[in-house]
Amino acid sequence: MSKPKNHEFQAEIKQLMDLMIHSLYTHKDVFLRELISNSSDALDKLRFQGLTDDSLTSDEELGIRLNADPENRMLFVSDNGIGMSKEELIENLGTIARSGTKEFLQAAKASGGENAPDLIGQFGVGFYSSFMVADRVEVLTRKAGTETATHWRSSGDGTYTIEEAERETSGTTIIMHLKTVDEENGLFDYTDEFVLKSIVKKYSDFVSYPIRMKGKEEDETINSMKAIWARPRDEVTEDEYKEFYKHISHDWTDPLSHVSVKMEGAVEARSLLYIPAKAPPDLYHHEMSYHGIQLYVRQVFIMDECKDLMPRHLRFVKGVVDSEDLSLNVSREILQQDRQISAIRKFLVRKIMEELKRLKKDDGEKYLTFWSEFGPVLKEGLLAYNEKHDDIFNLMLCASSHDNATLTTLADYVERMKEGQEKIYFMVGANRSVLESSPHIEKLVSDGYEVLFFTDRVDEVWLQQPSEFDERKWQSVGQGEVDVGTAEEKEKAKIELDEKAKDYDGLLQFLQSQLDEYIKEVRLSSRLASSAACLVGDTNDMTPQMAAILREMGQEVPVVKRILELNPNHELVASLQKRFDSDGTNSDLEEMATLLYGQAILAEGGEIPDPATFSRSLATLMARAI
């Protein structure tokens, strides 16, 4: 047997080691995933080549083995796959990425790894992750169809040795001389049976070859090899689907529904997606992590939460995507933004929206559960210009003045619209009960118009953006003028209001002078029926709800004065006019102005700017009345 020969890595290999250990991999545990993935690739290659070369086939079961030696702090990862020749070993382990280590390093450093070459499945960079946990690494490998093995050794210091060796069968064994355990820095005891099983369970549970290790009593297979998403749907029971959901989501409530689909064409992928029954506590905390779509490539776990595969308004979806075709960067932890990702994302979104439509049509009770938990999140999609709003509009359920006990769809609202009605009328507020009793909707409802009520925080935002449903624009009944009826009816109502405004001109100006700090205009209203007054905003003004949202976000919000509208047919307004006509300097009128403004604020569920003054005025008025 020849003596071992020293070889030098390319000059930049030490830089690669530093980059590998400190930058490319977030968790050191992934070294085992990388080595198992390489072994799986080697087994795939042997099985494929064996289809056309009978000399490469045998009765031996293909598989992967882990052996731990706690006493000597060593870990062995073996397979009986295709193996490597001496030349392949030098090429694969002495030259990184084949295009050159220097070029690889430049690309990785320039982009933080995002544009690094697609190296998944190549025995090279993934192998070097073993130096995160080992001081010395050895490789014993024998190419299938040959008799000679090769032994490779390195301490990752810029050199390695190679010599001829012996190995009973073809395949590869990685021998790691492990570093000292340092759990604070992510170095665990990788000779511990529990630690190894946990890593395999997390990252490699669905590798299609058995991964075996010596247990306390006998050999045991520590991966399930049961990729439920890859099995025919008619072979998977409902209980199995539910159990798998609980396994990946850590949610012990059964899901509302699941979608098992296969994407075919230029990009192929299998996916198993779930719609949960209950929202997780961190659903609205953007800075917190949530378990969404797990990504696998050839049944090897890549990441726990692949946000690129699902838009934020569908972040409640759980599940697994497994693809043969995805482009990954060197660490397999960040996906490259390419057309493959866009294609899979588009496919998944379409399938989830189809399932939600099916639930809405065929299982109203389940859909109500979904909407109560995730409706506000789904509506966040209306904020995105690149998403289809019609799909979300058709899934929307809304509270309505039509029926205070149930929710309605937009399609049903449009079907009930009065003849000649051109817009969809709505109000936004804190809760449904306040909106149902709002003075803003009195005249509309009494005239037979239906008003939709929106109470989620996101509603205030998307409703201010230009949008239409069924070619009908949205119209807030608390903003601007609300004109209803035919052109002739609108003109007649305007003339009548203008005539009454002349009679009330003095009172309107007086109230304006008293409330000028808070309001921009006092005018007569055509939207009120039983209430004396209400507050409205100009068409393009910021609403109080939006101002409150911005203040909660820590932003400075300019003061926006609103419009006080009075009902000329209300007895209180008529009495005020008589009092003003008889004695326009009466001090009671000043207090009544304060009370009228405060009443309008309270009617919409708002907060009075000066509660003490309002309380004194109310007490004084009550005392005089008694």
Q: What is the pLDDT of residues 234-260, one digit of tens each?
A: 888 998 899 889 878 878 899 999 999
- Mean pLDDT estimate for the chain: 84
With bands split at pLDDT 50, 70 and 90, how would you rate the model's confidence at 16?
Answer: low
Q: Give the pLDDT of residue 413.
A: 97
Nearest to 507 by CA among 560, 567, 561: 567
With bands split at pLDDT 50, 70 and 90, how would you rate the model's confidence at 144?
Answer: very high
Q: Are 273 and 318 in contact (CB under 8 A)?
A: yes
Torsion angle defined by CA atoms of residues 337, 339, 340 and 344, in that order, rounded to the nearest 10 degrees: 100
Q: Are 560 and 551 in contact (CB under 8 A)?
A: no
103 has pLDDT over 50: no
With bands split at pLDDT 50, 70 and 90, how would you rate the model's confidence at 284?
Answer: confident
Going across the sheet that includes 533-536, the strands are: 519-524, 562-566, 533-536
Q: What is the pLDDT of residues 395-430, one digit of tens each?
A: 999 999 999 889 999 999 999 999 888 899 999 988
Going across the sheet that includes 5-8, the strands are: 5-8, 159-165, 149-154, 134-142, 171-178, 74-79, 64-69, 211-214, 219-221
Nearest to 128 by CA among 164, 103, 104, 144: 104
Torsion angle defined by CA atoms of residues 377, 379, 383 and 388, in that order, rounded to the nearest 10 degrees: 120
529 has pLDDT over 80: yes
DSSP state of 525: -
Q: Identify the structural domains of the chain with CATH numbers, from first to last.
A: 5-221 (3.30.565.10), 228-365 (3.30.230.80), 387-476 (3.40.50.11260), 487-625 (1.20.120.790)
Concatenating the DSSP letter of every residue in 369-389 gives HHHHHHHHHHGGGGG-TTS-H
Could you tell me the pTM of the whole model? 0.72
**Tokens representing residue 278 in the block:** 């209950």
Concatenating the DSSP letter of every residue in 375-434 gives HHHHGGGGG-TTS-HHHHHHH-EEEETTEEEEEEEHHHHHHHPPTT--EEEEEE-S-HHH
Q: Give the pLDDT of residue 501.
A: 86
